[in-house]
Structure 1
């Protein structure tokens, strides 16, 4: 029961926090056949003259407001995650694709695309998007941590120790890049807890607490104290 709770919490903390999704994955896939805005990078489908004109208007407006292609792209990604956390996955995907229009070399676009597929529990599609982002920036800690989350979740579904080990390896790499991310330290603690490595479970638990401890729930604290005798 505790592991099921942790699994559900990790999913909600990382992606869609507390809000019901407004569309099922089957509905999404059906609609995306006619709506290229639901496909990463617009599915590389040729656009009409009207769509190209609308894209240019968007680019001009965003550049006027934000100054550079990268800043505009980053702002749209930020908006995309805001919609994603509210459960509005369609609007989130629209914003991530608009970010792609502004700066296709922005690796965080693929962080967003991956998060969309993660919210639908499509591990394969999510990892494919995360890997695109990591190909652009291999030291993106946020993408590494979210990719690790996929492996962690899948390891709890099928009991795979190999996937759990992969999650720890990715999280450790992410931690080496940015040790101040409590999303990373919390998940490292949980992974080591599952491996029954009390020393590291407590180490990263305490680091997460020092960083603010926002993702830690009391049920995990109680389980850690019980298993690791503290």
Structure 2
């Protein structure tokens, strides 16, 4: 589905909008929401637990390319717990998938307003700025990315995605010491995000 198609469908389908577009719902829709909330709380024990389960499902669908179902799950997660900042992480990821970085940042910022120390949101927000650097070579965007990645790393030093992207960001600034440092950290954590092309480029440019 293209973003143009998504936006066109969202005019008729409020489930494709964060928070259902804050649109009024029918009695049938409200009854369905109430039933879903009751069932998930019964299964998972609390609103937060149920919300987290739905967020995980949403990301699973997103990684498989089913953006529509991912958005449905993120909205259901919000129904269960509107204060769960990870819902906004999910919505931001949806918009980032469509390369709408403005809307992605809006969602990430709202999530961070609920929990400024959510490392996953910080890393994905930083990724937006790094992508902007790739597109425009704007060094201010790269600096913002490094600042956010660094903050995220201080909160969660075990996130391989963060350490890998920090390495790449420092490599782009020609800071070989930090590029190698965070590459090694990521590698020791398992190195799952490491791309072969980057490893080769790092080795040839920043020989140990």
Provide the residue aligned with 2:22 in structure 1. 44
Q: Does 1:175 align with 2:153?
A: yes
Distance 2:38 2:172 in 1: 50
After the TM superposition, which parts of structure 1 deviate over 2 Å for at least 4 consecutive aligned residues?
A: none
1:17 aligns with: none
For 2:4 and 2:92, how far apart are their aligned partners in 1? 17
Instruction: Verify: 1:137 aligned to 2:115, yes or no.
Output: yes
- The match for 2:125 is 147
Match of 2:51 in 1: 73
Aligned to 1:56: 34
Q: How many matched pairs?
A: 208
Structure 1 residue 218, shift from structure 2 partner: 1.5
- Residue 219 (structure 1) aligned to one of 182, 188, 197: 197
CA RMSD of aligned residues (A): 0.5
1:158 counterpart residue number:
136
Instruction: Give the superposition deviation at 1:217.
Output: 1.5
Query: 1:219 Cα deviation (Å)?
Result: 1.1
How far did 1:210 drift? 0.5
Normalised by the size of structure 2, how large is the TM-score?
A: 0.99
The residue that corresponds to 1:3 in the other structure is none
Partner of 2:99: 121
Structure 1 SS opposite 2:28: helix
Shift of the alpha carbon at 1:229? Answer: 2.3
Match of 1:108 among 62, 65, 86: 86
Partner of 2:68: 90
Task: Indicate the residue corresponding to 1:28 in structure 2.
Answer: 6
Structure 2 unaligned residues grouped into runs of 5+: none
TM-score by length of 1: 0.90
1:210 aligns with 2:200: no
Highest RCO, 1 vs 2 (Cα 8 Å, sep ≥ 6): 1
